[in-house]
Every structure is written in C-alpha cells, then in structure tokens.
Amino acid sequence: MDKTFVKGLRLIEALAASNEPCRVTSLSRDLELTKSNVHRLLMTLAAHGYVRRVDINSSYELTPKSGKWGSGQVTPRHRQGRAGADGALAAETDESVHLSVLDGLEVIYVDKIESSHPIASYTRVGGRAPAWCVATGKAMLAHTLQDTTTIARQLKKFTDQTITTAAA
C-alpha cells in the first residue's frame, strides 16, 4: 500500500469533516504526521486544485473540485457556513431557487428549493453544469474579473441558443 497516498486521503478526510478551515499544526496533531509532511501534502493538493489556503495563518480548506469524486456531491464544508437557498424567495415567486458556486467554468449546485410547478428544472445538489449554459452561471461569469477572451475560446456550443461569446 502506498503510504503517501494513504496520508493524502486521511488529510482530505480530515478537511472534509471540518466545519472550518484547518491549520497545518492542528492537522499535524490530529493525523499524527509531521508539520512538514502535512505541508507537502497540502501543497500537492493545492497545486492540483483540491485545497486552497484561506488566510495568512496557514489555514486550508477543500475546494469545490473535491466534490467531483464519487457521486459528485459537494463536501459538507461547502454546504455548512453558507446561507442555504432562500426559502422566502421561493415562497414569494413560487419558482425553484438554486444556490450555486462557480468552479472554473462550471457551477456546482450547493442547495435547491423546488417550486410546486409540474415542470421542474433537472438539477441536483452536488450536480454540475457548464456555467455559460445556466442562469446562475451566467450571472456569476458576468461579474467575475476573468480574461474574457480566454474564457470565450473554451465555450462549447450545446444548442443554437448557447452563448459562446464574451460580449453576449
């Protein structure tokens, strides 16, 4: 069995189980690993987009990319500490309400309240969609400070109505 791989999995599990970002020192203590070992593992996971440093105090958390594993569910950390989908908005509009986060050029649905209408949107919590193809993603992309020329080159056309230009 690859010991380094197992240590990395244990580290991911510890981050996923936490309701707040974790410091290297506490991870080292909890996992009974040296600080340098934990730091190297975190740097490797960060380089591949699975964790991110959240402050100058060396605290780390999982990124939405970690939710791509298995069933595609978002980790508990990404659901906790965030406001859920707005029940008042759902009641007032009688429409489905989605709470999503942007992960590159994809949205991840973090929470959802279904409308009472017989025709429903086919999304699931933890599911992903191309950001330029769904309302929540379009809104988030419109307000990000990304290189629109680079983004536009990556937009795949799914239907005749798919927006594939930065201006649109």
- Residue 39, classified by CB atoms within 10 Å of its CB into exposed (0-12), middle (13-18) or buried (19+), is middle
Q: Say if 159 falls within a structural domain.
A: no
Q: What is the pLDDT of residue 80?
A: 44
- Residue 35, classified by CB atoms within 10 Å of its CB into exposed (0-12), middle (13-18) or buried (19+), is middle
Read off the pTM: 0.52
Same domain, 85 and 121: yes
Q: Say if 104 falls within a structural domain.
A: yes
Same domain, 87 and 126: yes
Q: Say if 137 falls within a structural domain.
A: yes
Could you report the per-residue pLDDT of 140-155, keeping only the tens digit for each?
888 775 666 666 777 8
Same domain, 57 and 84: no
Q: Is the pLDDT of residue 19 over 80?
A: no
Q: Say if 143 falls within a structural domain.
A: yes
Instruction: Give the CATH number of the domain where residue 57 resides.
Output: 1.10.10.10
Domain boundary among 62, 90, 108: 62
Residue 102 makes CB contacts below 8 A (sequence gap 6+) with 131, 137, 140, 141, 144
Q: Say if 162 falls within a structural domain.
A: no
Instruction: Give the CATH number of the domain where residue 127 resides.
Output: 3.30.450.40
Same domain, 54 and 108: no
Could you report the per-residue pLDDT of 128-137, keeping only the tens digit for each?
888 888 888 8
Q: Are 67 and 73 in contact (CB under 8 A)?
A: yes
Instruction: Determine the Cα–Cα distance for residues 24 and 55; give it in Å rounded to an integer.
Output: 12
Q: Say if 135 falls within a structural domain.
A: yes
Q: Say if 116 falls within a structural domain.
A: yes
Could you report the per-residue pLDDT of 47-93, keeping only the tens digit for each?
988 888 887 677 998 887 766 554 444 444 444 444 555 677 777 88
Query: Residue 8 sits in which domain range?
Result: 3-62
Residue 31: pLDDT band by 50, 70, 90 thresholds?
A: very high
Tell me how many domains the chain contains: 2
